[in-house]
Amino acid sequence: MQDMVTAIDTLKDTNMNCGIRANNMFVFACSDQLDSHTNAWYAVNPLAHEAVCQHPDLISSSRLRTYLATVYQVLEMEDRELELLSGHLHIDVYSRKAQYR
């Protein structure tokens, strides 16, 4: 927990050195507006294009969060739950579980 607090404090200190206004309360603050946060899409989209993804416009922070939540849930499932999920989705979740690991 203390590591996270230290990291956030460092980020906020860095924000002030980068022209972020002191009264902007956001951790991921926007430098060109008084009281706004950075839109994650503007950070993720150029990286997706730079990585030469097949469909870079389909990569978003929302989809990444959904993907990570799905991976986490699959890794935490019991065998019987995985069987039910496999049947429901008509996919081999066991092979995907190995892929996620």
Residue-wise pLDDT for 28-45, tens only, equals 787 766 677 778 888 888
On the question of pLDDT at 88 being above 80, the answer is: no
Could you tell me if 42 and 61 are in contact, meaning their C-beta atoms sit under 8 angstroms apart? no
> What is d(CA 14, CA 30) in angstroms, rounded to the nearest whole number?
13
Could you tell me if 26 and 16 are in contact, meaning their C-beta atoms sit under 8 angstroms apart? no
Per DSSP, the three-state class of 36 is: coil
pTM for the full model? Answer: 0.44
pLDDT digits (tens, 9 = 90+) for 43-78: 888 989 999 999 998 888 788 778 777 876 777 778
Q: Which residues pair with 37 in a beta bridge?
A: 29
Model pLDDT, residue 49: 93
E strands within the chain?
Answer: none
Model pLDDT, residue 78: 81
Give the gyration radius of the chain's Cα atoms.
19
